[in-house]
Structure 1
Amino acid sequence: MLPKALLNSRVKIKVTEQRTPSIIAIIPVSGQVGDIALNPATNRVYVIQSESGLGVLDTTTNKMITNVNTGQMPSNLRINPRTNHIYVSNWLDGSVSVINGRTNRVITTIKVGERCDEIAINTRTNKIYAATISLSSRNGMLTVINGQTNRIQKRMPFIGRPSTIVTDEETNRIYVTNTMNNTVSVLDGNKNTIIKTVKVGRNPVITPALNKKSNCLYIPNNLSRYCSILNLRTNIVHNLQLGRLQSDIIVNPVTNRIYITSAQIESKGRLYVIDGDTNRVIQTKTIPTFTNMFINPNTNHLYISADEENGPDPLTVYQGSSLKRIASLPPVESTGGVAINPLTNRIYLGGEKKIFVIQD
């Protein structure tokens, strides 16, 4: 899907002059890089470094500024550029660490449940949403945190496993997938109540992609042969048959194209390109297994990386509309974390004990 740092930014996206992408720096870090996010207001990149905590990167010098100790086993992070606060979910602690982006210090740690994984933020309302699970029951929880007071505003019980969270800041709707019940719940962010719960395919464990142009939420189903498309006006789902199990999804909001991969272990994968106007597949392409992908909406460059048994393949760059290959970069051990600076067209891609900086 589109990197969260870009989704959360207020920067207007426009297509820029095309150039050949290249890796301009490789920055060493401590541990495998997980989630990555960029604060466009301060031009700093934040990275989860295995169990080492939160790393802070100065993108002007391409040097790590500091490492912030968070809770045990940090997993996901989000940024509110308006307040310059960074939020990190800690899996083993069942907590959320709140970090001051100016001082790089932990303001507070909020206990939200037994195990905390996915988090999301609405920067307009300054609310943070944390999904937790219980090890002793089938019940999960969605905890709503007030970003101004750093206090829990509400705990919303879920029967099953709340897995991924997507916020629509314009409508103040929150969408939560449930991988145990194979559903998506639609929440009213004003009232902190569930409006509707709809059935989707099996194992919606991949974070859905929000497309404001078509006003749809695209929900990949990891164990079904179709993608579920939720109409955000009617809250009605229809399914798009793809023929293969899904593994990743991204949206280019400029061209209104949706990209879904099926990269399974037993065979070559497939890339499906969907027209957001018609919600029909308009292109397909064979791709390697074990792929990660991301797109720069500014340049319409689609990046696909693959890790084979004998090591990583080159990072291949395609033109997003024609799927014509335009560049092949040196192999990178991509761990999936990526952030894009829409002002500089620099991409920060996480790897094993390093961050790759790509000038697009």
Structure 2
Amino acid sequence: MALQSNERDASADTLVAKVYVGYFPSSVAVNPITNTVFVASDRGIDVIDGATNKLVKTIQVQTEPFGSGISVNPVTNKIYASSSDGAVYTIDGSTFTVTGNMTFIPWYGVGNIAINSITNMLYVGSGTHSVFVVDGSNNRLVKEIYIINAYVSGNLAVNPMTNMIYQTGTCNGCINGTGFVSVIDGKSNTMIKQIDLGRGAVPQYIAINSITNKIYVRDLYSTGIRIIDGSTNTVTDAISAGSSSESSVESPAGIAVNPTTNKIYAPNWNISLDPGQWFLGSSIKVIDGSNNKIVQTLPVGNAVMDVAVNPVTNRIYASDSYNHRVVVIDGNGPLENAKIMIDTINGMHLKKGITKSLDSRIDGAIQSLNSGQYDDAKKYLKAFIDKVEVFSGKKLTTFQATSLIKMANDIINSLPAK
């Protein structure tokens, strides 16, 4: 049974922050190395510091990037943002400045961008039958790959470990619109297969777990998730990631995977069937990739447009378009974060008495979290903060004290109220 919003498991994913950005935030991308988040909004590319959850800059581009695709190459620290006028803007992640743009087919516009960070190759989708391959070292077009049967091309995803690229699409001229996933070999830059998803399927969103080599595909009009085995490029399973009733229906709004934790994040819109209402809110289904079970449902606002994951920090970022903000979710949960605090304290190499004094309070919080005694956990954490404040500037440096207090407060704020 999935964990609902009014229930709480100490190991569950937890909403920890809301960062307000420009109007109508849409695409989200993360650089896990620099811990920086990039969000397309009506005013440009908003930049969020993942360490502080603060908006640090807005990058201006020539055309509004709302609805555009954003991708990051963490190795080169370059960000690529597509726009409806057919351009792909290149942004330097160290200076947050636009360093160039590439124009492909302005008439149809440019869609989703996927990057192989190992080969430094970009794969740019379009409204036509083509995928454009770009060399990230010089931003030059290498090849245009024609996707047969494609009437509507969807999103792209890359598995850098296998150098395979996957794009969703629907068939041109097929009865009832057969949906498929095109498979491109990154070594030869040729399409080697189309995976048939059946009539009536309109696959749109796609994400890959590069460790398990599984591809997750969401339909535009249904909340089911198809699972493709990347070793055989065949559909092996499906997950129901939404529901409907007489009064409302859930509609998919993206998908993301954390390959480190093997969790899948599938946001939905909850749409009212009452003509007098529209949005009833948005939620994210958290799925355990080891058994394909929904383990949690997180309410995240009114109209989530996209979701992205930082696998290093285990933070998840969802753009809430209606409320003009990015919702930050901690994938570790309070219990895991409390354990991380123990490691952090021990890593400071303090005097044994100081370490023991601090550890004992966190140990008490961990025991309380394990037994579901959240009020007791808060008491231990507040006692920890009091002790750190006493040690600050004496037994602890100001930086150490500030860091520990922030970690403790983050856990307290993630716990349910009475």
Q: How many residues align?
A: 298
What is the aligned partner in structure 2 of residue 180 from structure 1? 171
- Displacement of 1:313 in angstroms is 4.5
The match for 1:80 among 73, 84, 91 is 73
Could you tell me which amino acid in structure 2 is paired with residue 140 of structure 1?
H
The match for 2:82 among 89, 94, 98 is 89
- Displacement of 1:175 in angstroms is 1.8
- Displacement of 1:220 in angstroms is 4.2
- Displacement of 1:304 in angstroms is 6.2
Q: 1:206 to 1:262 in 2, by over 3 A?
A: farther
Q: 1:119 to 1:71 in 2, by over 3 A?
A: farther
The match for 1:152 among 141, 147, 157 is 141
What is the aligned partner in structure 1 of residue 46 from structure 2? 55
* Percentage of identical aligned residues: 28
2:282–2:304 Cα contact (<8 Å) kept: no
The match for 2:310 among 335, 341, 345 is 341
Could you tell me which amino acid in structure 1 is paired with residue 73 of structure 2?
N
The match for 2:156 among 161, 165, 183 is 165
1:180–1:203 Cα contact (<8 Å) kept: no
- Give the Cα separation in 2 of the matches to 1:100 and 1:262: 38
- Give the Cα separation in 2 of the matches to 1:147 and 1:239: 34
Q: 1:229 to 1:308 in 2, by over 3 A?
A: closer
- Displacement of 1:150 in angstroms is 1.1
1:69 paired to 2:63: no
Larger Rg: 2
The match for 1:116 among 110, 119, 125 is 110
1:200 paired to 2:200: no
**SS of residue paired to 2:69:** strand
The match for 1:355 among 326, 329, 334 is 326
Could you tell me which amino acid in structure 1 is paired with residue 270 of structure 2?
D
Could you tell me which amino acid in structure 1 is paired with residue 96 of structure 2?
N
1:261 paired to 2:259: no
What is the aligned partner in structure 1 of residue 250 from structure 2? 289
TM-score by length of 2: 0.61
Q: 1:343 to 1:336 in 2, by over 3 A?
A: same
What is the aligned partner in structure 1 of residue 186 from structure 2? 189
What is the aligned partner in structure 1 of residue 411 from structure 2? none
**SS of residue paired to 2:75:** coil
The match for 2:215 among 213, 217, 220 is 217
Cα RMSD, aligned residues only: 3.6
Q: Which runs of 5+ in 1 are unaligned?
A: 1-16, 134-138, 243-258, 269-287
- Give the Cα separation in 1 of the matches to 2:167 and 2:319: 26
TM-score by length of 1: 0.69
**SS of residue paired to 1:38:** strand
Q: Greater strand percent: which structure?
A: 1
- Give the Cα separation in 1 of the matches to 2:222 and 2:28: 29
- Displacement of 1:224 in angstroms is 8.7
The match for 1:32 among 7, 11, 24 is 24
Q: Which runs of 5+ in 2 are unaligned?
A: 1-8, 173-178, 334-418
1:140–1:157 Cα contact (<8 Å) kept: yes
Question: How does 1:307-346 map onto structure 2 within 5 Å?
Answer: 307-309=270-272, 311-313=279-281, 315=283, 320=288, 323=294, 332-346=301-315
- Displacement of 1:179 in angstroms is 1.7
Greater shift, 93-102 or 177-186, is seen at 177-186
What is the aligned partner in structure 2 of residue 232 from structure 1? 230
- Displacement of 1:190 in angstroms is 1.6
Greater relative CO, 1 or 2 (CA 8 Å, sep 6+): 1
- Displacement of 1:165 in angstroms is 1.4
- Give the Cα separation in 2 of the matches to 1:192 and 1:162: 17
The match for 1:132 among 126, 133, 142 is 126
Deviation string, structure 1 residues 210-251 (Cα, Å, up to 9, x no partner) = 35566443444557998765443444x4575x7xxxxxxxxx
1:101 paired to 2:93: yes
- Give the Cα separation in 1 of the matches to 2:213 and 2:280: 36
1:206–1:221 Cα contact (<8 Å) kept: yes
- Give the Cα separation in 1 of the matches to 2:126 and 2:287: 39
**SS of residue paired to 1:200:** strand
Q: 1:83 to 1:187 in 2, by over 3 A?
A: same
1:70–1:88 Cα contact (<8 Å) kept: no
2:112–2:124 Cα contact (<8 Å) kept: yes
- Give the Cα separation in 2 of the matches to 1:228 and 1:303: 12
- Give the Cα separation in 1 of the matches to 2:34 and 2:91: 14
Could you tell me which amino acid in structure 2 is paired with residue 307 of structure 1?
N
**SS of residue paired to 1:113:** coil
**SS of residue paired to 1:347:** strand
- Give the Cα separation in 2 of the matches to 1:324 and 1:231: 22
**SS of residue paired to 2:171:** coil
